[in-house]
Amino acid sequence: MTFLSVVSMPVHARGVLLSESDRTPVLGERSRPGSRASHDMAASDTAMMRRCIALARSSNSRGEYPFAAVIARHGEFICESSNMARTERDLTRHAEMVAISLAQKQLRSTSLDNCTIYSTVEPCAMCSYAIRESRIGRVVFGLRSPVMGGFSRWSILNDAGLSSILPEVFAPPPDVLAGCLQHQVQKLFRKRNRLAWEFMKSRKIFVESSDLDQVQSSRSKARSTLWLGLANAARTLLVDRVWRG
């Protein structure tokens, strides 16, 4: 079963109504606080996370845990996937991995620069490495994972060494937003299996952030928009043809 679908209009034009309390207070990597761009990014993040949560909720009928991922570029929806590990009996079929594969096919490129991936929980180490190698620019998720997370535990998403040693292959670390709609994600897990959720909480497998945590990467601190654009173009047009065939 495939969850790929494509739309041609921005999410804010598709009838998604957001109240003031729902809007995530996000500082975009190239947006000023209070600017229209940051407001639009916050609205887009909230809408995409709601879509992600709705998809995760629907996966319960297939016996999957409520893991889901959505990928967008410049506020436009690209693709989505729920967890497929149990359905396909393949432990590598995490929601983020499937969504990245779908996005690369849809965009006809292994490089997903300027894309944002949304996930109900923090991507694990495996998914985080795929995010880095596919050059996704932003990562937004609900619950943190101090045990398995590729940001909280393994420091893959924020590892600047990958891009400094192999700048031809890896882009600078993505911007990371933790805690987006985390209370709604927690309700999903509790509703699916309350006992299992209490076990996860006691082991701190998934936890809430004390507040929304915005992590600005070296991408936004030290790199200009022009430089990033040129670097991404060079990787895609030159390096990828040799390195990735």
Active site residues: 96
DSSP string, 169-187: T-PSPPEEEE-TTHHHHHH
Q: State how far the Cα of 77 lies from the Cα of 86, in Å rounded to an integer.
A: 26
The two tokens of residue 129 are 């490495």
Q: State how far the Cα of 144 lies from the Cα of 147, in Å rounded to an integer.
A: 9
Per the listing, tokens 């998604």 go with 16
Backbone dihedral angles phi then psi of residue 140, each to the nearest 5 degrees: -125, 125
- CB-based contacts of 188-197 (< 8 A; 24+ apart in sequence): 188/53, 188/56, 188/57, 188/66, 188/120, 189/65, 189/66, 192/60, 192/65, 192/66
Do 171 and 235 form a contact (C-beta atoms < 8 A)? Answer: yes
The two tokens of residue 35 are 């600017």
DSSP string, 83-151: --HHHHT-TT--HHHHHHHHHHHHHT-S--TTEEEEEEE--BHHHHHHHHHTT--EEEEEEB-TTTBTT
